[in-house]
Amino acid sequence: GDSVTQMEGPVTLSEEAFLTINCTYTATGYPSLFWYVQYPGEGLQLLLKATKADDKGSNKGFEATYRKETTSFHLEKGSVQVSDSAVYFCALSDQGSGYSTLTFGKGTMLLVSP
């Protein structure tokens, strides 16, 4: 079945450092890929997405490129802020029956210090 593997956290960085959170996936078809973010005490929010190979999703300074050859969707940000501290989930969707089910990675906690 489908699966998502992402690096374990916590990832601890200083403000303005470069961020990479690795995510690889296994899927039988051609899934769409997502990054969700969960701030403390809040629900998951869609951060960015990519629906086909070589697509780059971007939002709030975060980027991720859908790499079919390496089955990866790594999340990057050039300069993190304290406000980026949250848990980040990589996920893929399996389209069908008019809606998609999501398969999530375990989540990676990011802690950014001033």
Residues that bind another protein (CB under 8 A): 4, 32, 36, 41-46, 49, 89, 93, 95, 98-107
Distance in Å, CB of 84 to another protein, minimum: 19
- Comparison of 41 and 114: residue with beta carbon closer to another protein: 41
- Comparison of 18 and 39: residue with beta carbon closer to another protein: 39
CA geometry: angle at 1 spanning 65 and 46, to 5°?
A: 40
Burial class for 33, CB neighbours closer than 10 Å (0-12, 13-18, 19+): buried
Distance in Å, CB of 89 to another protein, minimum: 7
- H helices of 61-104, where? none
Distance in Å, CB of 59 to another protein, minimum: 13
Strands 86-96 and 99-104: antiparallel
- Comparison of 13 and 108: residue with beta carbon closer to another protein: 108
Distance in Å, CB of 5 to another protein, minimum: 10
- Comparison of 97 and 114: residue with beta carbon closer to another protein: 97
CA 24 to chain CA mean position, Å: 10
- 114 prior amide bond cis, ω within 30: no
